[in-house]
Amino acid sequence: MAKGLLEKDFLGKKAVVIGGSISGMLAARVLSDFFEEVIIIEKDKMSNQHIPRIGVTQGSHGHALLKSGEEILNDLFPGIIDELIEAGSVKSDFAGGLAWNHHGSWKLKYHAGMSIIQQSRPFLEWHIQRRLKQIPNVSYMYETKAKKLLVNNDQTQINGIVIQKEGEMDLEIQTDLVVDAAGAGSQTSSWLKQLGYQAPAKTEVRVNLFYASRIYRSLSSKNKDWSNLLVYPNPPSQNRGGSISPIENKRWMVTLLGYGVDSPPNSGEEFLAYTKCLGKPDIYEAIEEGQPETDVTVYRFPALRRFHYEKLSPFPDRLIVMGDAFCRMDPVFGQGMSISALEAIALKKELQRAVHKNGLAQISIHTHRSFSKIIDIPWLVALTEDFRFTQTVGKKTIWTAVSDVVCKKGHFSLRNE
Ligand SMILES: Cc1cc2nc3c(=O)[nH]c(=O)nc-3n(C[C@H](O)[C@H](O)[C@H](O)COP(=O)(O)OP(=O)(O)OC[C@H]3O[C@@H](n4cnc5c(N)ncnc54)[C@H](O)[C@@H]3O)c2cc1C
């Protein structure tokens, strides 16, 4: 039985989570305290290795876990941060060890006494999965796709899901709650239309960003006075940047990026050549004599996208959309996993409220409103930065417009114009 709850306190028999990535796993951990059984539907194969997988292609690229995400992870899986460090994650002095070139100038390094843990994304995911699998009422269905949602007769609540395991027939599962954590591949919007609902409103801001990453076994043997290096672009004149971060097994993740750059570097030569055009030579100098371990992998990120499920009415109850399926942030700001963690805690609060009040009625609307509030500030931060690039296309919020005016008047030096 789940910790801290009597059997009568369970909110339902079965909760299903679509997607076994970061937000799906954190949701499943929370749901395991409130449902007798939690099933994760994951289209990818089970993997026993820390390697990128097809369903999470961004896993080949630098992934920073912000402090809020780290703390929540440790609350949900006590001791996991120590386990990660013991297994190879690198504990870094975040502010003190970071050489950060921002809008053309170097930030002062500052020993704030705050550490973060650094590792590759598949390594982090694998360790969370290992802990999740120790929870008896959580199970995985791998190589299985969620195909559509089922609704009750009066169309008020989702009561099931259709899944298909590779090579097998469709299967219907009756559910008490469905959480869609399928990331960018989420189909809830079109599934709702099939069921006769409207699609949610959507805000999109096109940035045409690319990431190109490569793992290095060693860097150039020159002296360096940083543990992390970040060269952020200097818009509008300079739209290229990159970072170097330590990851497990004494390796380095080198990630290059460009906004509105049509031809990302694909080969080792192009990768090195690109580092010469970042406005600062530091990344080039760090890798020119380094030893690469992997080929270059490219990821294209066309747009930030936010679905407004919190505003969609009517909306069937007992369906929750979270993580990247709810909102995809610009990855440069390293917010996605920590937002998933904050949403998992918001989901937990809504489920606790449901235990003490009227059960699962209205769970969807309350939870989506909480998620939307969580997203407002990170979304504003990302948009304020992204609209400095002249090629960014989308509707500015009132706050991004205000910060633009303030910058242009010169009250606040956000632009180097
Ligand atoms: C290039 C890049 C760099 C990033 N860097 C950072 C960073 O530094 N820090 C940070 O915090 N975040 C970063 N992010 C964001 C981060 O990757 C996501 O926010 C985080 O993974 C949470 O996403 P998710 O779990 O919602 O979805 P995903 O991680 O996209 O996972 C979705 C899961 O659903 C599965 N799935 C999809 N459809 C179905 C279906 N029909 N049936 C069954 N399973 C399905 C997929 O196989 C996958 O496992 C980055 C993103 C990108 C693109």
- AA letter at 193: K
Pocket test for ligand 1, best of 18, 26, 29, 58 (most atoms within 8 A of CB): 58
Mean pLDDT (the chain) is 93
Tell me the mean pLDDT in the region 63-85. 98
**In the predicted structure, residue 5 carries a pLDDT above the cut 50:** no
pLDDT > 70: what percent of the chain? Answer: 94
> Degrees (nearest 5) of the Cα angle 203, 206, 209?
135
Tokens of 250: 């004494």
Is the confidence at residue 336, as pLDDT, over 50? yes
Tokens of 287: 């890798």
Query: Is the minimum distance from the CB of 331 to ligand 1 under 6 angstroms?
Result: yes
CB of residue 52 inside a 6 A radius of ligand 1 = no
Q: What pLDDT does 414 receive?
A: 40
CB-CB contact of 23 with 343 (8 Å): yes
Structure confidence at residue 417 (pLDDT): 29
Token digits of residue 150: 């089922």
Rounded distance from Cα 21 to ligand 1 centre (Å): 6
| The pLDDT of residue 289 is above 50 | yes
Average pLDDT, stretch 121-136? Answer: 97
Ligand 1 center–CA 298 separation, angstroms: 16
State residue 399's pLDDT score. 72
Distances (CA, A) of 59 to 62, 64, 270, 385: 8, 11, 21, 24
**Strand (E) or helix (H) holding 351:** helix 336-356
338 lines ligand 1 (CB under 6 A): yes
The class (CATH top level) of 91-119+207-302 is alpha beta
* CA 185 / ligand 1 centre spacing (Å): 9
Which is the closest atom of ligand 1 to the Cα of 145?
A: 42
Average pLDDT over residues 62-74: 97
Q: Say how many CA atoms lie within 13 Å of 306 toward its Cβ.
A: 23
Atom of ligand 1 nearest to the CA of 41: 43
Q: Which of 17, 23, 187, 330 to mutate to test the pocket of ligand 1 (most atoms within 8 A of CB)?
A: 23
- Whether the pLDDT of residue 2 is over 70: the answer is no
Mean pLDDT (whole number) for 283-299: 97
d(CA 261, CA 47): 34
pLDDT of 306 over the 70 cut: yes
Using a 6 Å cutoff on CB, does residue 63 contact ligand 1? yes
Note the pLDDT of residue 188.
98
**pTM, entire model:** 0.95
Q: Atom 23 (ligand 1): residue with closest C-alpha?
A: 324
The dihedral formed by the CA atoms of 231, 235, 237 and 242, expressed in degrees to the nearest 10:
20
- Give the closest residue (by CA) to ligand 1 atom 15: 336
Mean pLDDT of 10-15: 96
Q: For residue 242, how far is its CA from the centre of ligand 1 (angstroms)?
A: 21
Q: How far is the CA of 310 from the centre of ligand 1 (A)?
A: 21
Per-residue model confidence as pLDDT tens digits over 350-371: 999 999 988 999 999 999 999 9
Neighbours of 112 (CB within 10 A): 10
Q: How confident is the model over 130-157, as pLDDT tens digits?
A: 999 999 999 999 999 999 999 999 999 9
Q: What is the pLDDT of residues 32-61, one digit of tens each?
A: 999 999 999 999 999 888 888 999 999 999
In this prediction, residue 201 carries a pLDDT of 97
Q: What's residue 403's pLDDT?
A: 67
Is the CB of 337 inside a 6 Å radius of any atom of ligand 1?
yes
Which among 26, 178, 324, 333 is the best mutation to test ligand 1's pocket, defined by most ligand atoms within 8 Å of the CB?
324
pLDDT digits (tens, 9 = 90+) for 159-213: 999 999 989 999 999 999 999 999 999 999 999 999 999 999 999 999 999 999 9
**Cα 253 from Cα 270, distance rounded (Å):** 17
Q: How far apart are CA 204 and CA 104, in angstroms?
A: 28
3-class SS string, 353-415: HHHHCCCCCCHHHHHHHHHHHHHHHHHHHHHHHHCCCCCCECCCCHHHHHHHHHHHHCCCCCC
Where residue 19 falls (left for φ over 0; alpha for ψ -120 to 50; beta otherwise) is: left
Domain locations in the chain as residue ranges: 7-86+122-203+304-386, 91-119+207-302
Among 307-311, 372-376, 397-401, the least confident range: 397-401
At 226-281, the pLDDT tens digits run 999 999 999 999 999 999 999 999 999 999 999 998 899 999 999 999 999 999 99
Query: Strand, helix or coil at 138?
Result: strand
DSSP E strands: which ranges in 251-296?
251-259, 291-292
Nearest CA to ligand 1 atom 38: 182
SS3 170: strand
**C-alpha pair distances (Å), 386 with each of 207, 259, 382:** 7, 9, 6
Identify the pLDDT of residue 104. Answer: 87
Residue 221 pLDDT class (50, 70, 90 cuts): confident
Quick one: pLDDT at residue 409? 56
Cα-to-centroid distance, 309 and ligand 1 (Å): 19
Ligand 1 contact via 32 beta carbon (within 6 Å): no
Do residues 101 and 280 lie in contact, with contact meaning Cβ atoms separated by under 8 Å? yes
Top-confidence residue, 157 or 7: 157
Q: Is 185 in the pocket of ligand 1 (CB under 6 A)?
A: yes
Question: Does the domain at residues 7-86+122-203+304-386 carry the CATH identifier 3.50.50.60?
Answer: yes
The answer to whether 339 touches 378, Cβ cutoff 8 Å, is yes
Residue-level pLDDT at 6:
47
